[in-house]
Amino acid sequence: MTTIQISNTLHNELIQRKLFDRETYEEVIWDLIEDTRELNDQTKRDIEKARSEIKAGKLHSLAQVKKELGL
């Protein structure tokens, strides 16, 4: 076992990501690693494209979509 130093901000983030109180930080970190491995390169590109479009204001609210579809 090794001790590492992390910021209070990261520590608080890890606490928030726990699925249950007794989950260890190691389990939380492994879950995060596993999540990033599951995304293939195309999915990562698609996510980055979507983020760029959102930042550029290229999005529609649910209300707008419903109106356009006549719902």
| Local confidence pLDDT in tens for the 71 residues of the chain | 888 899 999 999 999 999 999 999 999 999 888 877 777 888 889 999 999 999 999 988 899 999 999 99
Q: Residue holding tokens 């109180």? A: 21
- Distance from chain centroid for Cα 62: 21
Report field, pTM of the whole predicted structure over 0.75: no
Pure H helices in the chain: 8-17, 25-37, 41-55, 62-69
